[in-house]
């Protein structure tokens, strides 16, 4: 009797475990399934002719075009070039934004003299400065990197400045009592306290960096993902254009996930 009832108990436990997994992770499962369902519906509408291939190619056609770019090595080459541009712009703009944020946050005099011009510059749409950047820096790599750097700098500047000003005054008083130098204040108190908000600024900057790169690589680019899009436009290859845009989106999501993981690790002491 015991041996015959054991399989039945095991079979009954399987649906229960499935139900528990669904209940505990239902929103994560839905988030994962919703894009897949959208792609399936898109493919079905394209197959039935409700969506014209001249307007929006089917997902299968876009995948085939992307696979060709992967096989011939063009995508890898474009990713390398675009990645270097983003990294250089992120380093240049990020370091500038953080340094200015710390300086303005620590000194009322620097805030009074430096912050107003920066706020005026921030009010300008940085993508609208492309004609000036072409005149100043030409149509080479420098213009593209500087445009990315300009877009990256302000989120980090604002978040760093705000974070420095929100540091607990009692910690600063303790630093005075202990005779901390400026470097010790930065390393022990200010930067660790400002880290959560600075990482938020980094996530914002990464999103702006990829968005800026899409536009910057339209400036007479001869390499990079933007070059692939321009070339595909000339040959009316909508499938390649959409695939490259999807690559931009995946790069943005991936880099954001990396920063979120870094944020979780850096701030694990809070949990």
> Which domains, ranges and CATH numbers included, belong to the chain?
1-51 (no CATH), 59-270 (1.10.3720.10)
Q: Identify whether the C-beta of residue 152 lies closer than 8 Å to the C-beta of residue 205.
A: yes
- Other beta carbons within 10 angstroms of residue 76's beta carbon come to 11
Length of the chain counted residue by residue: 271
Q: Identify whether the C-beta of residue 153 lies closer than 8 Å to the C-beta of residue 94.
A: yes
Listed as ranges, residues in the chain with pLDDT below 50 are 1-2, 9-10, 12
**Of 31, 51, 82, 110, the residue nearest 218 (C-alpha):** 82
Q: Please state the pTM of the whole predicted model.
A: 0.77
- Report in angstroms the alpha-carbon separations of 39 from 34, 42, 50, 262: 9, 5, 15, 31
pLDDT digits (tens, 9 = 90+) for 98-114: 999 988 888 889 888 88
Cα–Cα dist 105/101, whole Å: 6
pLDDT digits (tens, 9 = 90+) for 187-217: 777 777 777 888 888 888 988 998 888 888 8
Q: Identify whether the C-beta of residue 156 lies closer than 8 Å to the C-beta of residue 93.
A: yes
């Amino acid at each position: 009797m015991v041996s015959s009832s054991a399989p039945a108990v095991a079979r009954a436990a399987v649906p229960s475990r499935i139900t528990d997994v669904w209940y505990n992770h239902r929103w994560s499962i839905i988030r994962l399934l919703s894009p897949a369902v959208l792609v399936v519906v898109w493919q079905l509408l394209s197959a039935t002719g409700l969506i014209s291939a001249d307007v929006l190619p089917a997902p299968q056609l876009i995948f085939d075009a992307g696979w060709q770019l992967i096989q011939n090595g063009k995508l890898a080459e474009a990713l390398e070039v675009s990645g270097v541009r983003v990294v250089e712009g992120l380093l240049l703009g990020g370091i500038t934004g953080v340094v200015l944020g710390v300086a303005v946050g620590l000194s009322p005099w620097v805030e009074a003299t430096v912050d107003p011009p920066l706020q005026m510059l921030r009010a300008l749409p940085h993508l609208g400065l492309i004609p000036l950047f072409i005149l100043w820096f030409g149509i080479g790599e420098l213009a593209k990197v500087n445009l990315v750097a300009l877009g990256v700098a302000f989120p980090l500047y604002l978040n760093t400045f705000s974070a420095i000003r929100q540091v607990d005054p009692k910690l600063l008083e303790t630093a005075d009592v202990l005779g901390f130098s400026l470097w010790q204040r930065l390393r022990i108190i200010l930067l660790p306290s400002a880290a959560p908000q600075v990482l938020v600024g980094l996530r914002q900057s990464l999103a702006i960096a990829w968005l800026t790169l899409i536009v910057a690589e339209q400036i007479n680019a001869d390499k990079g993902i933007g070059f692939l899009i321009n070339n595909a436009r000339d040959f009316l290859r909508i499938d390649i254009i959409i695939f490259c845009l999807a690559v931009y989106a995946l790069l943005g999501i991936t880099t954001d996930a990396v920063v979120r993981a870094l944020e979780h690790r850096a701030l694990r002491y809070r949990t």
